[in-house]
Amino acid sequence: MHFALSKAVGFFSVPSNVIVSLAVLGLVLMVFRRPTGAIVAGGALAAVVAAALSPLGNMLLTPLEQRFPEMRFPDQGIDGIIVLGGSYDTRIHGYMNTILLQEDSDPMAVIPGLALRYPKAQIVFSGGTDPSNPGLSEAAVAKRYFVSFGIAADRISIEERSLTTEENARFTAQLVHPSPHSRWLLVTNAFHMPRAMGAFRKAGFNVIPFPVGWRTHGWRDLWRPSAPATENLRRVDVAVHEWLGLLIYRLAGYSDEWFAGPYTNGSDF
Please compute the mean of the pLDDT values over residues 119-124 and round it to a whole number.
94
Reduced to 3 states, what is the DSSP secondary structure of residue 93?
Answer: helix
**pTM: predicted TM-score of the whole model, two decimal places:** 0.85
Q: Is the pLDDT of residue 136 over 80?
A: no
Q: How confident is the model at residue 248 (pLDDT cuts 50, 70, 90)?
A: very high
Integer-rounded Cα Rg, in Å, for the chain is 20
The β-bridge relationship of strands 184-189 and 80-84 is parallel
Indicate left, alpha or beta for 255 from its phi (over 0: left) and psi (-120 to 50: alpha). Answer: beta
Q: String of b and e for 254-268 (b: at least 16 CB within 10 Å)?
A: bbebebbeeeeeeeb
Q: Is the pLDDT of residue 216 over 50?
A: yes
Provide the pLDDT for residue 203.
94
CA dist., res. 220 & res. 144, Å (int) = 40
Distance CA 269, CA 260 (A): 15
pLDDT above 50 for 168: yes
Q: Which whole number is the average pLDDT over 249-265?
A: 89
The pLDDT assigned to 246 comes to: 95
Round to whole Å and give the CA distance between 137 and 177.
Answer: 23
Residue range 171-195: mean pLDDT, rounded:
93
Judged against a pLDDT cut of 60, whether residue 267 lies above it is answered with no
Q: Where do the CATH 3.40.50.620 domains begin and end in the chain?
A: 70-215
Query: Which whole number is the average pLDDT over 131-148?
Result: 77
Confidence at residue 265, expressed as pLDDT on a 0 to 100 scale: 55
Tell me, rounded to whole angstroms, the distance of Cα 57 from its chain centroid. Answer: 16
- Flag the least confident range among 33-37, 77-81, 156-160, 194-198: 33-37
**What average pLDDT does this structure show over 52-70?**
92
Model confidence at 95: pLDDT above 60: no
Could you tell me which CATH class the domain 70-215 is placed in?
A: alpha beta
What gap in Å lies between CA 73 and CA 269, rounded to an integer? Answer: 9
Identify the pLDDT of residue 263: 77
Residues near 224 by Cβ (< 8 Å), separated by ≥ 6? 55, 58
The yes-or-no verdict on residue 215 having pLDDT over 80 is yes
Beta-carbon count within 10 A of 179 CB: 8
How would you label 43-63 residue by residue, b for 16+ Cβ within 10 Å and e otherwise?
Answer: ebeebbeebbeebbbbbbbbb
Query: Range with the lowest mean pLDDT among 36-45, 89-98, 149-158?
Result: 89-98
| Predicted confidence band of residue 175 (pLDDT cuts 50, 70, 90) | very high
Mean pLDDT of 149-173: 92
* DSSP state letter for 101: B
pLDDT at 143 over 90: no
